[in-house]
Copies of this chain bind each other. A is one copy, B any other.
Amino acid sequence: MKWDEVSNQQCSVARSSSVLGDRWTLLILSDCFLGVRNFDQFQERLEIPRTTLANRLQKLELHDVIYRKLYQTNPDRFEYRLTDKGRDLYPVLSTILNWGDKYYSDEAGPPILRQHVSCGHDIQPVLQCPECEEVVDAHNVHARTRPQYGSYPDVKRGPILRRG
């Protein structure tokens, strides 16, 4: 399959991956959440090729994850900011951070600490069930394909069934 066909799949991970799934995008977004807004600042911090950075920012803007805000005229200059849709990626970045902290920290611990403003604790946010508040992991969740809906085609790539 060609890469630009991936997003047509009936799969939320596929559609998300077509936006997020490359070398640099997650890092760019991470910097967005850390407050980076300008082209050169992204470029210097990430040491990303300028061409690649320009392409990525354009793509993220196209997908409404970031937007360009005019902050100067003559010449017009823009800064890049997260949209609401982009800010909704915080849980993704946060769980990636958790994973990296767990498996790739050095002796000095996680490089970046996160304080929950509401309660003051340094935390690693966890995934919980919104109904019963229990912490959720892979074994606790059972995936199933949605029922047939009107004339919509069947969902491919559903869960594999195994005899219990």
Mark A residues whose CB is within 8 Å of B.
1, 3, 6, 10-17, 20-27, 30-31, 33-37, 41, 45-48, 82, 85, 87-119, 121, 123-134, 136-146, 149-150, 152, 155-162
Contact = CB atoms under 8 A, between A and B. Distances in A.
Given A22-B21, A104-B16, A116 B145 contact: no
Given A12-B100, A104-B16, A114 B143 contact: yes
Nearest to A33: B138
Copies in the complex: 2
A123 B131 contact: yes
Given A13-B93, A23-B22, A130 B126 contact: yes
Contacts of A98: 91
Contacts of A88: 99, 102-103
A112 B115 CA distance: 33
A128 B131 contact: no
B100 A115 contact: no
B144 A16 contact: no
